[in-house]
Structure 1
C-alpha cells in the first residue's frame, strides 16, 4: 500500500484533530479533554481503546511480534502568542512543543493500520502518553503495564521540530546518545531561625545554601570527565520573607544532565553527598527530593537503521536524513528505550521564512502542518514493514 498517498488523503482530518487538541491544550498527568478525544477517535476507527494509568492504549493485529508506537499528548504551562486562529485561549496552557502533532499523527496512523489489519504480520500497540514535559508519563504507563499484555518487542516514536528548515528532514542518531539524561532535584536546607541582629543564635540556611551552590559547581569543573557532556544547573533558590529575619529553611532546585550513564551516576551521588556534608559543616541539615530521574536517550542502532530503510522506501518529496543528531534536552521516551529496543527521530515541521523564527517552548512558535502526512505515513509504513520482517 502507498501509505503516503493515504496519509495525504487524510491530511485535512489529521490537521483538524491537531487543531482541536492544540486549542484545548492540557498539562501534566491528567488530560481529560485530550484523553476523551483520543479515545473517541480510536473507537470511531474501530479500535477498542482502554485507559493505561493516565494515558490511553489500544492494540490491533494478529498475534506475533509486538511493535509499540508512542505519542505524547501534553502541553506546557505557558501562554501562547503564535497568532494562529486556533491558538489556545486559556493564557495558561499551550502546545509549544508539538505534542498535539504526535497524538494526531498516531491517530491517523491507527486508522490506516486498522484498514490494513487483516494483512498485518503481528501486533501494533498504541501508546498515547501524558506528562512527558514533567517526565512522569512513561513511568506512569509502564507501572500500569504498557509494555506487557501483550509484551512489547520494540518501540518507535517521532517528535516534530520547528525552526528555520524545510519540511521533509528526519533527524536521528544510530551511534551514540541522542538526548541527555535529566535528574531534577530539590534540596531543602534546614537551619534555625533567628533575628537578623543575632545570627549567632540561629543557623543560617541561606549561608548554607550559598556554599552548597558553589560546591556543586566544582563537580563539573573537577570531578567529571571533560570528554563527556555534563551540565548541572541550579535554577531556583528561595529563602526568607523579611530582611531582618534569618529563616528556618532555604530551597534550591536544579537539574543534572549528561550524555553518559556513568557520569550521571557520579553526579547524582556526589550532589547528595556535597549537599549533606556542606550542611553538616555549618550545623544545618538537608532533605533531598528527586523530582525526575530520566536516563539518556540511546536508540538501538540496528532498529534505527532498519526504520530509516523503511522510510526511504516511500516516495515522499524532500524526505532527507540528518544523522548523528544529539541534544542536551531530555525526553522521557528514554525510559521506554531503556527497557525495550527503541528508536526516536525528529521530523522537521519548520518554515524557511519568518514563521520559522521561534524554537519549541517559545510562546510564538509556529509548526508547519505539512509534516502531518509524513509522520502518519512513516508510522504506518514502519509498523507494517517491521512486523513483516520479524515474523515469529
Structure 2
C-alpha cells in the first residue's frame, strides 16, 4: 500500500484533526491548546513529543541521516468570515493562512512514518512551529536546538495555496528565490503642532509623512535594477486628533520585501536615509526603526530536485507541477533554509467554484480539505525515499 492509499484511509481522521485546530485557532508564539493537541496526537501515534522552545518536536527512526519535516501551527490575528460550521471560536484569531492544514498533514505523515519505522534508513525529526506569522517562531525553535541532537541534514516544508486553483498542483523553485525577505518599518515624524489655520507657525508631520511615502516609492522606481524584485508598503499612517489641529507627531509603519540579501540590505539602508533626509528638508526630526527581519527563502537546488522526483513517484491523480515559482510574501522557514539544505513547496488547496474567490489572509478564505491526504502522503513518501537515498 502506498502512502497515498494509506492517507486516503485516514482521511476522516485528517479532516477531524484539521477542524479541531481550525476551530481552536491561536495566535503568536505561545499556543497552549494547539500544542497540547499536537502532543496528545503524537503520543497516540506512539511518538514521544518533546518541547523545543515554544514548539513541539519528536523523532521517528533511529540513527543515520536526519531529515526535518516542518509545519507551522499559528493563526492570524483577524476575524473569520468563512461561514464554516467549524469556524474559529475566537473572534480575534483565524486560520486564514492554512497553518492548521500544515500541522494536520504533518501529523498524518508522522502517524504513517511511525507505522513504517522499521523500514526507515535514518531518522525523521518533526518540527511543529509556532509564531510563523510574526516571523519569530522558527528562530525560537532554532535557538532551542531544533537542528541539533540529532543534527539535521536536510529539511522539507509545504504551504497550502487557496484560491481558484485545482487540487493536484504543486509549485516549487530550484534555481532562484522562492519567497522574499521581510523587515518591518516604523517611522516617527516629529514636527511642531499648532492651529490648523496657521500652518506657517507649524511643522506639519502629516504633510511630511505624505512626502516620505512618495519618496520611498522612488527608491524602488529609480535606484534598484528592474531585475531586483523589491516592495515597500506603508500600511498605517496615524496622526492628529481633530480637523483643525496640526499635530506634533505622525507615525508610519510598513513592510519591506526583497528577493536577495543584497537588495534587502540596500533597501534597509536607503529607506532610513531617504526618510530622514525628506523630513529634514521640511524641518522635522525623525526616528526610523527597521527590524532585523528575515532573509529571503532560497531552496537548495539539488535537494529540491530530489524531492520533486520522489513526489512524481507517487503518481497521484491529476497532478500538475509548476517550477520557478516566486512569491513576494515571506516565510520564516527561511531561517532553517539558511542553515541546512531545504525545500519549500506550495500545494494547491483551492476550489474552482465560488469558494475559491478569496486568497490567503482574507477573512472569507476557504481551504480544500482534499489536499490533506496528498500533503501527508508527500511528506511521508519524500521522507522515506530521502533517507533511503542518503543512507
Q: What's the CA shift for 1:16?
A: 0.4
Partner of 1:100: 100
Please give the secondary structure, in 1, of the residue aligned with 2:43.
helix
Conserved? CA contact 1:69–1:379, under 8 Å: yes
Partner of 2:122: 122
Q: What's the CA shift for 1:144?
A: 1.9
Q: What's the CA shift for 1:200?
A: 5.7
Equivalents in 2 of 1:244, 1:256: separation in Å?
33
Partner of 2:152: 152
Q: What's the CA shift for 1:69?
A: 0.5
Rate the CA distance shift 1:250–1:195 in 2: closer, same or farther, 3 A. Answer: same
Conserved? CA contact 1:185–1:292, under 8 Å: no
Deviations 1:184-212 (A, max 9, x none): 21112223444445656654332332232
Partner of 2:12: 12
Q: What's the CA shift for 1:251?
A: 0.7
Partner of 1:278: 278
Equivalents in 1 of 2:84, 2:188: separation in Å?
42
Conserved? CA contact 1:350–1:367, under 8 Å: yes
Equivalents in 2 of 1:17, 1:318: separation in Å?
25
Equivalents in 2 of 1:213, 1:145: separation in Å?
41
Partner of 2:371: 371
Q: What's the CA shift for 1:377?
A: 0.7
Conserved? CA contact 1:4–1:315, under 8 Å: no
Equivalents in 2 of 1:244, 1:32: separation in Å?
48
Conserved? CA contact 2:25–2:89, under 8 Å: no
Which moves more between the two structures, 335-344 or 11-20?
Answer: 335-344
Q: What's the CA shift for 1:264?
A: 1.6
Equivalents in 1 of 2:202, 2:320: separation in Å?
64
Please give the secondary structure, in 2, of the residue aligned with 1:250.
strand
Equivalents in 2 of 1:312, 1:367: separation in Å?
23
Partner of 2:269: 269
What TM-score do you get using the length of structure 1 for normalisation?
Answer: 0.94
Rate the CA distance shift 1:292–1:241 in 2: closer, same or farther, 3 A. Answer: farther
Equivalents in 2 of 1:148, 1:215: separation in Å?
45
Partner of 1:3: 3
Conserved? CA contact 2:268–2:290, under 8 Å: no
The equivalences for 1:305-324 within 5 A come to 305-324=305-324
Gaps of 5+ in 1: none
The equivalences for 1:1-392 within 5 A come to 2-196=2-196, 199=199, 202-291=202-291, 293-391=293-391
Conserved? CA contact 1:162–1:360, under 8 Å: yes
Equivalents in 1 of 2:383, 2:150: separation in Å?
16
Aligned length: 391
Conserved? CA contact 2:161–2:349, under 8 Å: yes
Please give the secondary structure, in 1, of the residue aligned with 2:237.
strand
Conserved? CA contact 2:75–2:97, under 8 Å: yes
Equivalents in 2 of 1:195, 1:259: separation in Å?
45
What TM-score do you get using the length of structure 2 for normalisation?
Answer: 0.94
